Amino acid sequence: MMARVTVRLLLAKDSHTILSQAVRQMIPYAASHNALITSMPQVYAYSTQTRSLNNKAKESVNLGPHIQENLKKFREGSHENVSVPEELQHFRKSTEEGVKGNGPEEEKPPMGAVALPHPIWSEEELHSVHVTHRNPEGIVDKIAYMGVKFTRGCYDFVSGYSRGRQDEKMWVSRLCFLETVAGVPGMVAAMVRHLTSLRKMRRDHGWIHTLLEEAENERMHLMVMLQLKQPSLFFRLGVMVTQGVFVSGFSVAYMLSPRLCHRFVGYLEEEAVITYTKLLKEIDSGAMQHWNTLPGPDVAISYWKLRPGAAMKDVILAIRADEAHHRVVNHTLSSLKDDDYNPYKPGQ
């Protein structure tokens, strides 16, 4: 008898059912025991009271007044009053007024206000940049240097730079194109080192952040120049082709020899300093003198925290300082081993 009672109790779903079945099954077998029969109604009443309290407790825990009201109406049969998903906050579409991330256009931060850490140059630093050159040492350095010289010679001829053309159109087109190329090495190098760190499951020693900062810095140079030029379709196609070739080639080269690639970028930045120094001379006493008074783009003033009313000459000084910094950083990284610690902290 007790075995059958036990099995049925185990199949019960809750405490109320257990106690109810216990009462119904044990009373017939307890007819000769007056004390047990007397206590059964009390046990059943206790189980009913416990169930009522449990239900009230469940309804009161984490249920707001709105949900409790909906449950009450649902039990009464008023299904049309139950909330539908579209009325709930987390189901609302982002196009509705007041939803975060869809504020007025004027509330969005200006271009350049949100950026990775980068150096902010003082007036003294801006005017203390000089053209320097690191003499190639060994076959790797010589290959990198000759590669830069050959590349620059070809581009100078194609762009008309070597034929004496020095007007604003030439300068802006030249700088826009060069910055689309200059932003590639840092990003590719950071990607390769990032994937290597994941694949080999070891730390990167702090190189990735410096490379990403360099890539973004070069991209911001492009954003500044685009305020002065709207590229043509032919220009954009040229950038696409050049980027596809350069990204593929530089990726393979960096996997084979990071030292060669950083030395290549170091010499490339030397040429960039030469180019911007020549542009500054044109601004001082050449065909670009109007850039002494031409207002600098807001993106440049925001990014480099230039003084209000800064002119294009101030912007070019900041860009040249960035290029000189990249020159030093890449020559330094080229001289380090892959597992040496990066000496440059974020923003340095």
pLDDT tens profile 250-299: 999 999 999 999 999 999 999 999 999 999 999 999 889 999 999 999 99
Task: Name 332's Cβ contacts closer than 8 Å, sequence gap at least 6.
Answer: 343, 344
Known binding residue 218? Answer is yes
pLDDT of residue 96: 45
All domains in the chain, ordered by first residue: 1-61 (no CATH), 64-108 (no CATH), 123-334 (1.20.1260.140)
Please write the tens of the pLDDT for every residue from 111-146.
766 778 888 889 999 999 999 999 999 999 999 999
What is the mean predicted confidence (pLDDT) over 329-339? 94
Amino acid at 36: L
In sequence order, what DSSP letters do the residues of 218-286 get, joined into one string? Answer: HHHHHHHHTTT----HHHHHHHHHHHHHHHHHHHHHHHH-HHHHHHHHHHHHHHHHHHHHHHHHHHHHS
Does this model's pTM top 0.85? My answer is no
Q: Which of 345, 319, 324, 328 is nearest to 112 (CA)?
A: 319
Of 41 and 74, more confident:
74
Is 326 annotated to bind a ligand? Reply is yes
State the pLDDT at residue 115. Answer: 77
Cβ neighbors of 61 (< 8 A, separation 6 or more) are none
Is pLDDT larger for residue 30 or for residue 299?
A: 299
Distance separating alpha carbons of residues 229 and 173, to the nearest angstrom? 8
Q: Is 221 annotated in some ligand binding site?
A: yes
Q: Which token pair is 297?
A: 């783009």
Amino acid at residue number 302:
S
Residue 323 assigned ligand-binding role: yes
| pLDDT at residue 97, rounded to an integer | 47
Query: What is the band of 157 on the pLDDT scale with cuts at 50, 70, 90?
Result: confident
Q: What is the pLDDT of residue 328?
A: 95
What is the Cα–Cα distance from 292 to 171, expressed in whole angstroms? 15
Mean pLDDT of 303-309: 91
* Identity of the residue numbered 141: D
Report whether 87 belongs to an annotated binding site. no
Q: What is the average per-residue pLDDT within 186-213?
A: 95
Residue 12, pLDDT above cutoff 50? no
Q: Where are the alpha helices (DSSP H) in 160-230?
A: 168-182, 184-200, 207-225
Q: Is the dihedral of CA 337, 339, 344, 346 positive or negative?
A: positive
Task: Give the pLDDT confidence of 201-218 residue by residue, as tens digits.
Answer: 999 999 999 999 999 999
Is 269 annotated in a binding site? The answer is yes
